[in-house]
Structure 1
Amino acid sequence: MTEVDIDICRRSAVAQLEAMRRGEISARELLHETRERYDRVNAEINAVVTVDFDAADDAAAKSDRRRAAGEPARPLEGLPVAVKDLEDTAGMRSTYGSLLHADHVPRGDTLVVERMRAAGAVIYGKTNTPEFGTGSHTYNRVFGATTNPYDPRRSAGGSSGGAAAALAAGLTSVADGSDMGGSLRNPASFCNVVGLRPSIGRVPNWPLKDAWDTLSTNGPMGRTVADTGLLLSVLSGADRRAPLAYPERFEAVSEGFAGPLRIGWSRTLGGLDIQPQVSEVLDGQGLPVLHQLGHRVLDAEPDLEEADSVFRVLRGLDYARSFGSLLAEHRDALSPELVVNTEYGLTLTVEDYFDARERRTSLYKGMLELFDNIDVLAAPVTAVLPFPATHTWVREINGSPQPDYLEWMRASWRITPTGFAAISVPCGFSPEGLPVGLQLIAPPGAESRLLALAAAFERVRPVWREHPIVLTTATTPERQLVETETPQ
């Protein structure tokens, strides 16, 4: 299947922009097609949870007038976009997936949204997220669960699960996400799209409670690597309110690199339990592509054991600071996952914090030493295939019990405290048709290297073009939101 055979809503954003440039479709017509797609499939996957098509139609009409007047096209000119519901959108309900904010309508945009609007995006709605982005399965008590376009009985991942599902189904041209412990990469892997966790400071945002946070970051998602790089160029660049921001705007570079890369092939990311079905796709469908591209691939298992406690401590303290005051008055309105992580954070001490910082430095040193011999580390994004949407989180992997909702996500969040950049690129499908992504990891500031390698991989294996089953089904399955067991 070539891209011209793909319906307009699921073509790459780059191709949609080219179609508008050539006059084959207008911004209002593309929004109309997106609305028809929303009306037809969103009820089945619940990816987009708030919409304002009237305001979006006005924005699209303005975009068309700009083109007709011969004004220079902005980077996202006329593209229909739905924004993650953790981001404030002026005049549009922004709930953060929480009952406490179910009717919240902000007056202003966050910086991420400001930049997308300024780049010409036609924002028509919001994508679903777990409460305050907590957990890697997208469900909440405001809107319910988001499910997977490739199997609506399965999870879309999270916390950017609504964004990933919307991309896969053709409900948004590009998508913003955020990533503390894999919230960009995990849903990208589950939904056969691309998600990039950039270096801290590459994508600044505002307002923030902690402008010095080095654990969480916003980042771009797309159906293709080029789309993801395009959005990164829009979201990047200095802002005086963001002290850690890279001073320069990221430029989407040509897809290439000088000479073969040294790629470390990690099957377990330092000894994790990985489902055989995931490993079989990566070894059987991903590894041969890297060889075909002419790279030198060698086995490499990083020592990331320290990452486990470092991440848990730093995340726990972040949750204690952000949500500790809510527990006394609003415990019943909060998700079990949020309560558990906040309570853990409240048990931690200043000594725990400084010990975690020191061990994080040791962890970073170890990664630098590993990268003395490699240019990119390739590894699983997730330890499991997309799991049933009726489950809140994965309880066991290969017979090993997972003690809490964070444990099964380690293939993503072990990278977070290292500070390295990481991208999930579609790799292939299990025999039952479930997507599997490949995680490519590189030192801070090396987004160009990751995007170039991911783009070359995608050219050989353009599995993003695989048609989601939700686009061929008409029935809406009854959706359960939570299990009966209580997370530990």
Structure 2
Amino acid sequence: MRPDTQFSGPDLCAKPARDIIALLRNGEVSTDELISASLARMDQVEPAVNAVVTRCPERARHAQVAPDTPLAGLPIGIKDLTEVKDVRTTFGTQGYADHIPTTSDPLVTRLEQSGGVVLGKTNTPEIGAGANTFNTVFGATRNPWNTALNAAGSSGGAAVSLATGTLWLSHGSDFGGSLRSPANYCGIVGLRPSPGIAGGSSASLAFTTGGVDGPMARDVLDCALFLDAMAGYDQTWPISFPAPDAPYFETAQRDAGAIRIAYTPDLNGFAAVTPEIDTVLRAALGGLERPGLSVDDHCPDLPRLDETFRALRCLSFLGSYQATPPDVSRHYKDTIKGNLADAEAMTFADYARAERDRAALYARMVTFFETFDVLACPVNGLAPLPVEIEYPSEVAGRAMRDYIDWLQFAFLATVTGLPALSLPVGFTPSGMPVGVQLIGPPRGEARLLQIAHSLEQALALPVTCIDPRSP
């Protein structure tokens, strides 16, 4: 059951983004009023959660926005891994603690052209490495459902800003679940799109497909609306993909028709999961009552998924490290240095093997989607831990080799380039949110959002917007 919660912030902050945009277009509210409401809410909650670590209200108030744009002047958050012109962008590392970019990331430019008004930067672990949001520049971000616990990462600040009502939409990014995990732990919606839909890796690794940007919101329709503002061809992104003819926001609201779900609690034993998480997910999926909906226990074989993901991640780490000045990289935490050592130990043959394995896994998933619409599985195998614990040493009795092991549910979508969404579906007995991960077909964002919206309606769970809760 959902625990008792309250929301003491401004009424505007609790409204869905789509409703706020309608008010902006009708002239019933101004961007200035929204900025004031958002800042007031930050003042209320930030001492407890530390999610929005840099604010830029003057820049936001001077933004020139046309009301007929998709976001119409809505204040938004940008993760502190993504550069915003004239706004402190630290990447969570001491080497960039005072970094003020002179240009914005292309995705930020697109969002501003779409009517988004950047109001703040959200917290991230150092260079996005690790699924617990803390760094030596700003400290730790805490879970609003229990501030003694972690909010996951690396888009932890973004997820918390949504759950607490400080922002209506917040940008995230994802390689190893960095967008999906915090959405899961904070009770909001996060979508990792297919590579090329909404930006991607840094300019120095622009052809790689592991890291992608994506939308985070309090519910599915707001998530779809935010994806529309992000999507579209841009020649600065070499793998950029055109936006669909029909907006995601429109498609998500259409009748989903028959829905065939395959559920796996552990990806055929690949990933560790506690009985607590499996119980919540089975109860949610088993309680769905909708004509034409079926849920079956099934998972395709996923050979060498671990080795493939790790190889792709090593390539990304090594590529980023080579492009980073030594006076920045010397500050990196030990876990990052360990990742770099792993990458340098790999051979060209290892990477070639990983690409072959990746192609084989993709082919298996294409066959799987001939029978099913989505693969449902946990986002994370356990509930949040105390914020001081960087990562779990074991999950359900299985020892974790490193801080990557406990993120294995994230590997499949990243390796195969499939869209994946974290949807809140229930709570643990201790009152912590639990989301289900829905993995969709190739370039299947529209269908995935449509299915997620249908499940969201069937479950009828209240949308998260809460005051931080202390233990």
Shorter-chain TM-score range: over 0.9
In 2: Cα distance, 1:464 partner to 1:135 partner: 30
Aligned-CA RMSD value? 2.2
Deviates more, 1:327-336 or 1:422-431: 327-336
Check whether the contact 1:203–1:219 (CA below 8 A) recurs between aligned residues.
yes
SS at match of 1:36: helix
Residue 27 of structure 1: aligned partner: 31
Asked if 1:458 corresponds to 2:456, the answer is yes
Q: Report how far residue 6 of structure 1 moved.
A: 9.1
Residue 188 of structure 1: aligned partner: 183
1:418 to 416, 419, 439: 416
Asked if 1:262 corresponds to 2:257, the answer is no
Residue 312 of structure 1: aligned partner: 310
Residue 301 of structure 1: aligned partner: 299
In 2: Cα distance, 1:16 partner to 1:85 partner: 25
SS at match of 2:422: strand
Asked if 1:136 corresponds to 2:131, the answer is yes
Aligned positions of 1:272-283 closer than 5 A: 272-283=271-282
In 2: Cα distance, 1:7 partner to 1:302 partner: 46
Residue 442 of structure 1: aligned partner: 440
Residue 349 of structure 2: aligned partner: 351
Check whether the contact 1:324–1:346 (CA below 8 A) recurs between aligned residues.
no
Asked if 1:160 corresponds to 2:194, the answer is no
In 1: Cα distance, 2:275 partner to 2:326 partner: 43
Question: Size of the alignment, in residue pairs?
Answer: 461
Q: Report how far residue 10 of structure 1 moved.
A: 2.5
Change in CA separation of 1:377 and 1:37 when aligned onto 2, cut-off 3 Å: same
In 1: Cα distance, 2:149 partner to 2:337 partner: 25
Change in CA separation of 1:432 and 1:206 when aligned onto 2, cut-off 3 Å: closer
Residue 480 of structure 1: aligned partner: none
**AA at the equivalent of 1:442:** G
Q: Report how far residue 399 of structure 1 moved.
A: 1.7
1:341 to 339, 342, 355: 339
Asked if 1:93 corresponds to 2:93, the answer is no
Change in CA separation of 1:13 and 1:463 when aligned onto 2, cut-off 3 Å: same
Change in CA separation of 1:93 and 1:249 when aligned onto 2, cut-off 3 Å: farther
Change in CA separation of 1:464 and 1:392 when aligned onto 2, cut-off 3 Å: farther
Check whether the contact 2:200–2:211 (CA below 8 A) recurs between aligned residues.
no
Residue 319 of structure 2: aligned partner: 321
Asked if 1:231 corresponds to 2:226, the answer is yes
Asked if 1:55 corresponds to 2:59, the answer is yes
Check whether the contact 2:256–2:451 (CA below 8 A) recurs between aligned residues.
no
Deviations 1:252-272 (A, max 9, x none): 223234531221111212212
Check whether the contact 1:168–1:192 (CA below 8 A) recurs between aligned residues.
yes
SS at match of 2:47: helix
Deviations 1:311-365 (A, max 9, x none): 0011112212221576976665112221111110010010101011111111111
Check whether the contact 2:165–2:466 (CA below 8 A) recurs between aligned residues.
no
Tell me, which stretches of 5 or more residues in structure 2 are unaligned?
Answer: none
In 2: Cα distance, 1:27 partner to 1:328 partner: 41
**AA at the equivalent of 1:443:** P
**AA at the equivalent of 1:49:** V
Check whether the contact 2:219–2:463 (CA below 8 A) recurs between aligned residues.
no
Check whether the contact 1:206–1:241 (CA below 8 A) recurs between aligned residues.
no
1:38 to 35, 38, 42: 42
**AA at the equivalent of 1:52:** C
In 2: Cα distance, 1:200 partner to 1:452 partner: 19
In 2: Cα distance, 1:205 partner to 1:438 partner: 24
Check whether the contact 2:151–2:185 (CA below 8 A) recurs between aligned residues.
yes
In 2: Cα distance, 1:421 partner to 1:287 partner: 23
Check whether the contact 1:185–1:195 (CA below 8 A) recurs between aligned residues.
yes
Asked if 1:77 corresponds to 2:72, the answer is yes
Question: What TM-score, normalized to structure 1?
Answer: 0.89
Change in CA separation of 1:325 and 1:84 when aligned onto 2, cut-off 3 Å: closer
Deviates more, 1:240-249 or 1:185-194: 240-249
Check whether the contact 2:261–2:376 (CA below 8 A) recurs between aligned residues.
yes
Check whether the contact 2:308–2:358 (CA below 8 A) recurs between aligned residues.
yes
Deviates more, 1:239-248 or 1:39-48: 239-248
Check whether the contact 1:327–1:339 (CA below 8 A) recurs between aligned residues.
no
2:11 to 3, 7, 31: 7
Question: What TM-score, normalized to structure 2?
Answer: 0.93
Change in CA separation of 1:459 and 1:355 when aligned onto 2, cut-off 3 Å: same
Change in CA separation of 1:232 and 1:335 when aligned onto 2, cut-off 3 Å: same
Residue 288 of structure 1: aligned partner: 287
**AA at the equivalent of 1:361:** A
Change in CA separation of 1:181 and 1:464 when aligned onto 2, cut-off 3 Å: farther
Deviations 1:160-211 (A, max 9, x none): 1111111111111111111111111111101111111111111125861122
SS at match of 2:455: helix
Tell me, which stretches of 5 or more residues in structure 1 are unaligned?
Answer: 67-71, 478-488
In 2: Cα distance, 1:206 partner to 1:388 partner: 30
SS at match of 1:230: helix
Check whether the contact 1:265–1:301 (CA below 8 A) recurs between aligned residues.
yes
2:360 to 362, 380, 399: 362
Deviations 1:124-162 (A, max 9, x none): 110011111111111111111111111111111111111
Change in CA separation of 1:327 and 1:341 when aligned onto 2, cut-off 3 Å: farther
**AA at the equivalent of 2:219:** T
SS at match of 2:421: strand
In 1: Cα distance, 2:430 partner to 2:310 partner: 34
Change in CA separation of 1:330 and 1:247 when aligned onto 2, cut-off 3 Å: closer
Check whether the contact 1:179–1:197 (CA below 8 A) recurs between aligned residues.
yes
Deviates more, 1:317-326 or 1:274-283: 317-326
Residue 197 of structure 1: aligned partner: 192
Change in CA separation of 1:469 and 1:431 when aligned onto 2, cut-off 3 Å: farther
Change in CA separation of 1:320 and 1:125 when aligned onto 2, cut-off 3 Å: same
In 1: Cα distance, 2:467 partner to 2:40 partner: 17
**AA at the equivalent of 1:48:** V
